[in-house]
Amino acid sequence: MSQGSLFTGQPVLSQLLSLIPRSLVERLGRDHQADRYCKRFYTYDHVVTMLAGVFMGCTSLRELTTGLQACEQRLRHAGLKHTPRRSTLADANARRPEALFGDLFHGLYHRYYGSSPDSRRKKDPLCRLHILDSTTITLFSDVMHGTGAYGMDGRKKGGAKAHVVMRAQDQVPCFIDLTEGRRNDKTAMASVPLAKGSVLVFDMGYTSFEQWQAWTMQGVHWVTRLQDGVRVQVTEHLPVNDTQRAAGVIGDQLVLLGAGSDPLQARIIHYHHQPSGRLFRFVTNHLHWVPSTIAHIYKCRWDIEQLFKRVKQNYPLRYFLGDSPNAIKIQIWCAFIADLLLKIVRDRVHRSCPRRWSFANIAGLIRIHLHTYIDAVQFLRDPDRALLNYRPPGNDTQLPLFGSP
């Protein structure tokens, strides 16, 4: 591969940041009035600085600011003309609203993944499947109240909770809500944006008959597990054929859930997991799916754990650059934005490359070559061949260090 096709005029970090339209950041800055009283460190500069810190794995303000000063010339491609001081960055993290970064994440998602699935595949529920779950990020300060019991010294670690809805087809969050760790998961159910015909799967911690009924009225299909102790009135036993019994289905019932004058109409699938011998009760509002399909949909719920794992492993969410709730949420939002940018690069590489890269390998290579002037997509398609065939132009003779011998 020649030098012209491999190396570019921008470092890898600038290529990643070019995926963020500057007009979008400036519009969000105006909407949130985030640049009021700013002399030089504007919203776009703040976004570039925080994303650079996430990609470089910085764990302190000094590490981030000195790292940016060392590569200041290379950051000019990304539009960062002035590197911030520690006090400037700390003030911006405490003052600039974290909701701006949340809107930026959702704006980027709708730009790159917001299109609906192919209409020819809409009959497949897995193409319309969304997964709802939450993950807690432990903090060493109690600035955001966490969960769990207090220690013997009367103190308890804080925690931030991310309520996430992920579209299973893309393996990318389509909705995120950041709250304190002690906030109940059910509080995020009403704010989940779902289109008619969507399929939502979640665990039994999101038991709310009122919200289940609201989703049913909206035309949203949902699948979850039934908690013990819920009042169930069986209205009809549906037949189960031999094929479904061989798959582990032992019962199919139409039921009424809850007490009162307006119970919830639903369907319960009794399923036996043969490898572990456990019995499960899956509940859904869809009355026509094959029982084994409902069990498979609930099994797909574990895909969101892979998302939580890759975000926590590849980005610094153990050390925060500020001790205020606003600064903590900004850093969490930037971690999700960085994850989205790497996912975009990974998808572009996979479109024309038979080699299937793991996310961890791509994140590692990007971190190593973050300030290298190399085409990231072309390099990731075949890095071994690209580097083996590369020869720098000019004379290959080694020159003496201290003049002629």
Per residue in 290-331, pLDDT tens? 999 999 999 999 999 999 999 998 887 888 888 889 999 999
Structural element, H or E, at residue 354: none
Residue 135 CA, chain-centre distance (Å), reads: 11
CA separation for the pair 44, 26 (Å, rounded)? 7
Please give the mean pLDDT across all residues of the chain: 85
Strand 159-167 and strand 199-201: pairing?
unpaired
The predicted pLDDT at position 152 comes to: 47
Contacts of residue 86, Cβ cutoff 8 Å, sequence gap at least 6: 61, 62, 65
Residue spans per domain, the chain: 3-102+326-389
Given a contact cutoff of 8 angstroms between Cβ atoms, the answer to whether 130 and 303 are in contact is: no
Write down the pTM of the prediction. Answer: 0.88
The predicted pLDDT at position 132 comes to: 96
DSSP 337-350: HHHHHHHHHHHHHH
**What average pLDDT does the segment 15-27 reach?**
94
**What average pLDDT does the segment 331-359 reach?**
88
Q: What are residue 199's DSSP bridge partners?
A: 129, 221
The predicted pLDDT at position 120 comes to: 42
Asked if residue 379 has pLDDT above 50, the reply is: yes
Per residue in 50-107, pLDDT tens? 999 999 989 899 999 998 888 877 777 777 878 899 999 999 999 999 999 999 999 9
Lowest mean pLDDT among 65-79, 143-157, 176-190, 195-209: 143-157
The predicted pLDDT at position 272 comes to: 93
% of the chain at pLDDT higher than 70: 85
Lowest mean pLDDT among 44-48, 170-174, 337-341, 375-379: 375-379
The predicted pLDDT at position 354 comes to: 65
The predicted pLDDT at position 100 comes to: 97
Per residue in 116-134, pLDDT tens? 544 444 567 888 999 999 9
The predicted pLDDT at position 234 comes to: 92
Q: What are residue 161's DSSP bridge partners?
A: 136, 179
Lowest mean pLDDT among 234-248, 315-329, 387-401: 387-401
DSSP 214-259: HHHHTT-EEEEEPPTT--EEEEEEPP--HHHHHHTEEEEEEEEESS
Is 382 in a helix, a strand, or coil? coil
More confident residue, 354 or 120: 354
**What average pLDDT does the segment 192-196 reach?**
90
Given a contact cutoff of 8 angstroms between Cβ atoms, the answer to whether 362 and 345 are in contact is: yes
Lowest mean pLDDT among 13-27, 62-76, 218-232: 62-76
**What average pLDDT does the segment 215-227 reach?**
94
Burial 88-111 (b: 16+ CB within 10 A, else e): bbbebbeebebbbbbbbbbbbbee
More confident residue, 380 or 397: 380
